[in-house]
Amino acid sequence: MTLFNLSDLRAGLGREARLIGLDLGSKTIGVALSDVTLLLASPYGSLRRGKLGQNAAEIAAIAAREGAGGVVVGWPLGLDGSEGPAAQAARDWTGALAAVTGLGAALWDERLTSAAANRMLIGEADLSRRKRAAVVDKVAAALILQAALDSLR
């Protein structure tokens, strides 16, 4: 598979196929999952960031178990919209993930989603720093996926 824009990824999904949202961190990968109507994203879990083959196998297993037909990966563009080294690395990783898993993939601008996730967890959930660290990646993945889903409407 190759990288798609979000509309093309959506058009290629099967009926009632879900999307997986991913927030790539240096140590963990936050995972979110859409509902079958592609209206709502929910935090799903997190994976320890490792070699691509291992992470791809874990993501493929989630896709098979949950009926997902594609992935939306956070794309860490610069605040000015430029593609720096981190954004290029995310693009390369996503392309390799799509090739290994056979899942369609799209990149989605993730500027400030981790900061938004932390603000939400502090303000609404009143979580301590230790508890936030355990959930921030999957919440950020859900925010990325939800923004992508909202753009499809």
* pLDDT per position as a tens digit, 14-34: 999 999 999 998 899 999 999
Averaged pLDDT for residues 89-116: 89
Domains and CATH numbers, the chain: 3-152 (3.30.420.140)
The whole-angstrom separation of Cα 58 and Cα 141 is 16
Residue 27: per-residue pLDDT: 93
Residue 16: per-residue pLDDT: 93
Residue 111: per-residue pLDDT: 73
- pLDDT of 131 higher than 60: no
For helices 129-152 and 113-123, the axis angle rounded to 10 degrees is 120
Residue 122 CB coordination number (10 Å) = 13
Residue 72: per-residue pLDDT: 98
Q: Using an 8 Å Cβ cutoff, are 94 and 4 in contact?
A: no
**Considering all CA atoms of the chain, what is the largest pairwise distance in Å, rounded to the nearest integer?**
41
- pLDDT of 103 higher than 60: yes
Bridge partners of residue 30, in order along the sequence: 23, 46
The answer to pTM > 0.75 is yes
- pLDDT of 125 higher than 60: no
Averaged pLDDT for residues 126-146: 74
Bridge partners of residue 45, in order along the sequence: 31
What is the per-residue pLDDT across 42-100, written as a single tens digit (0 to 9) for each? 999 999 999 999 999 999 999 999 999 999 999 998 888 899 999 999 999 999 999 99
Q: Using an 8 Å Cβ cutoff, are 6 and 38 in contact?
A: no
13, two tokens? 């999904």
Strand pairing category for 28-34 and 41-48: antiparallel
Please report where in the chains the tokens 């889903």 appear, as a residue: 149
The whole-angstrom separation of Cα 132 and Cα 125 is 9
